[in-house]
Structure 1
Amino acid sequence: MQIILGTTEFQIDGKSAVAIGKFDGIHLGHRKLLNYILEQKVDDLMAVVFTFDPSPEEFFLGKAVRQLFTREEKRKAFEEMGIDVLIEFPLTAETAATPPEDFVKKILVEKLHAGYIAAGTDVSFGDKGRGDQHLLRSLSKECGYELELIEKVRIDGDEVSSTRVRNEVADGNMAMVKRLLGGEYSVGGEIEHGNHIGHTIGVPTVNVIPPENKLLPPFGVYASKVYLDGKEYRGMTNIGRKPTISEKEKVGVETYIYDFDKDVYGEYARIALERFVRPEMKFDSLEALKEQIQSDIEAARQ
């Protein structure tokens, strides 16, 4: 997958099918949108995702927003889906003021050679967000592209949105999060050395420090899956600061992997959170912590 970032000067070769969106969560609605452009590859159109960096929320509100998918996670997801080109278009005061008509004609058509455009019915682009589905429709014949407008996906009667996913993650409702995403909610990173307390009490774990901008569910214990070196394992994961050990611990994602005993420090692991087991707790002793962990292991295994 080709990634174009940090520049407004780009040009791709050949005709393309372009999906426009924020893609901050890659939920079912986003997947529906992406499937439309992927279907165009049978007609030799390149599948192109056009998104913004930073996100419109971060740019216009001026504050960092915790991410459902970090940049690296989004890139991995897009590549696995079969996207050919990802454009992380720089959002600045200048580019945000682009007349909507110029955005369509000079970027989507001239630079990307769009023969097919897919967008949500709430699409917004260009100066003051004046670009919308009606402008895309009105320019489609003149500019020679086919337009597909995608209605909102609904689950249990309510729209699937990034805000809804965020709320479910914040509540620790991982089963609903999985339904809304169409896949597991996970945290990935390089396995680091921890304080080795797990080895001390007979419960060795792998430790991942999540990116600071990653949205995490409530601190606690979760039944999980671990994707490591191309293989899938079952596990039990603690998210939090390990208050029994120290009040100054960094927020970490610590996972006991069932029936696993390998040295994997430095390798990349993806931890998929399946079900909340219990909140994080502080214990009076390491022995009490060990007893609880053994109980958690059996509960998560079952």
Structure 2
Amino acid sequence: MLLNLEYFNSVWVTSLTNQILQPNAIALGNFDGLHQGHIEVLKPVIKTEKEKIYKTVVSFTPHPQEFFTGQQRKLLTPLAEKISYLEKLGLEQLILLPFDRELANLSPEDFLKELLVKKLAVRFISVGEDFRFGYQRSGDAKLLRAIAHTLGIEVEITNLKNQKDVRISSSEIRQALTLGEIEKANAMLGREYSILGKVIKGQQLGQKLGFPTANLEILPVKFLPKQGVYLVRVELINQPHSSHLGLMNIGYRPTVNGQNLTVETHLLDWSGDLYNQTLSVNLIKFLRPEQKFDSLEALKAQINADIQTARKLNLTISHE
């Protein structure tokens, strides 16, 4: 996929190598999730003090694993979310190299010399110690440094980062989210895992029960955690610094024989029209799995109980 040249906020984003801002100090990798391990790889680029050199992230589209398997990967940070985080970190450019058979067949030497040096004008490279590149992943971080040294290019290799003896990785974060282990996922991310979505009209069942919910339209590529009910913190994108405690349900609403997966959020102590607004729903804790109730009254009683649990947990978390 080739992207049209454009600025997203203050980050220049392109996959067109003839339109790249040059020269570059780059962090090289996929960076899905932008977790704490990724941040360590980005830091040397962010701290670059050389004049007239762009602080750049170089990644691939599609993900190499997706290219080889033909299976679409759900993303922890779809493109718009990734760009937003990169901007906050102080990065200036995101280059999304089209990953195709030609790129996959490049030798490690050609990957560096013909692509990174000739087309991207790279002056500095930062990678994690597990970085692999070139044909059949034959190159590693040490080989990258050795080849780059002959060209007068500095390569910084960042050690892997652990969280309680577990290596921080996108795969570990996905596993934690799948199991509903939100605190573990958030610790590895260094922030609360968020789900971004536009509020659309639903069946308005929550309103009939006395608990109006915002039905979110989520990008199909977004990775969703375990189905069930969550304690969340909700931010309205058009209202900076706004934060509201809430409950989110991810599931099929079996009590009313729902057929489609929905993501619904109820904001506590909120009144107002949320339709067409974009919300960032930040996950704090998994409360319970989704379940089918014998009646709407039983469902309503459980929602009341969930709200009480949410308030108590919020007080506990606030005083920690």
Q: What amino acid does structure 2 have at the position aligned with 1:247? A: G
Report the alpha carbon displacement of residue 44 of structure 1 after superposing the two structures with TM.
Answer: 4.8
- Label 1:152 to 1:275 Cα distance change in 2 as closer, same or farther (>3 A): same
Paired with 1:254 and 1:11, the residues of 2 have a C-alpha distance of 40
Task: Indicate if the aligned counterparts of 2:14 and 2:20 stay in contact, CA closer than 8 A.
Answer: no
Alpha-carbon RMSD:
1.6
Partner of 1:241: 252
1:232 partner amino acid: S
2:138 corresponds to 1:130: yes
2:156 equivalent in structure 1 = 148
TM-score (norm 1): 0.94
Q: Sequence identity of aligned pairs in percent?
A: 36
Residues 172 and 217 in structure 1, CA contact (< 8 A), matched pair in contact too: yes
Q: Which residue is equivalent to 1:82?
A: 90
Q: CA deviation at 1:211?
A: 2.4
Deviates more, 1:96-105 or 1:276-285: 96-105
* Aligned-residue offset at 1:8: 4.2
Structure 1 segments unaligned to the other structure (5+ residues): none
Deviation at 1:41, TM superposition (A): 4.5
Q: Which residue matches 1:205?
A: 213
1:12 aligns with 2:16: no
User: Could you say which residue in structure 1 is the equivalent of 2:289?
Assistant: 279
In 2, the alpha carbon distance for the partners of 1:194 and 1:247 equals 12
Counterpart AA for 1:12? L
CA contact 1:12–1:111 (8 Å) conserved in 2: no
Distance 1:138 1:188, change over 3 A: same
What one-letter code is carried by the residue in structure 2 that aligns with 1:261? S
* Correspondence list, 1:114-125, <5 A: 114-125=122-133
Counterpart Cα distance in 1 of 2:274 and 2:75: 27
The question of 1:104 aligning with 2:77 is answered no
Structure 2 CA distance, aligned partners of 1:43 and 1:193?
50
Residue in structure 2 matching 1:163, options 146, 171, 183: 171
Match of 1:216 among 220, 224, 229: 224
1:146 alignment partner AA: E
The answer to whether the aligner puts 1:256 opposite 2:261 as a matched pair is no
* 5+ residue gaps, structure 2: 1-10, 313-320
Say which is worse superposed, 41-50 or 116-125, in terms of deviation.
41-50
TM-score, L = length of structure 2: 0.89
Encode CA deviations 1:224-261: one digit per residue, 9 max, x unaligned. 0111122221111111111112231x212111112211
Q: Distance in 1 between matches of 2:188 and 2:194?
A: 14
Structure 1 runs of 4+ aligned residues shifted over 6 Å read none
1:40 matched to 2:48: yes
Contact conserved, 2:20 with 2:95, CA < 8 A, in 1? no
Distance 1:240 1:92 in 2: 36
Counterpart of 1:291 in structure 2 is: 301
Number of residue pairs aligned between Structure 1 and Structure 2: 299
Question: Letter of the aligned partner of 1:239 in structure 2?
Answer: I
Q: Over residues 105-159 of structure 1, what are the superposed CA-to-partner deviations in whole Å (9 max), with x where a residue is unaligned? A: 2222223222211001121122222232223212233322221001100111121
Q: Distance in 2 between matches of 1:156 and 1:2?
A: 36
1:270 aligns with 2:274: no
Once the two structures are overlaid, the 10-residue window that deviates more, 103-112 or 260-269, is: 103-112
Residue by residue over 1:3-45, the C-alpha shift from the partner in whole angstroms, topping out at 9 and shown as x without a partner, is 112x3434323x3210001112211110111122111156553
Question: Partners in 2 of 1:134 and 1:32 — Cα distance?
Answer: 18
Q: Distance in 2 between matches of 1:80 and 1:207?
A: 28
Contact 1:223 1:301 in 2 (8 A): no
CA deviation map 1:145-202 (0-9, x unaligned) = 2210011001111211111111111110000101011111111111111111111111
Alpha-carbon separation, structure 2, partners of 1:268 and 1:157: 37
Q: 2: CA distance between counterparts of 1:19 and 1:69?
A: 17
What amino acid maps onto 2:114 in structure 1?
Answer: K
1:24 is aligned to 32
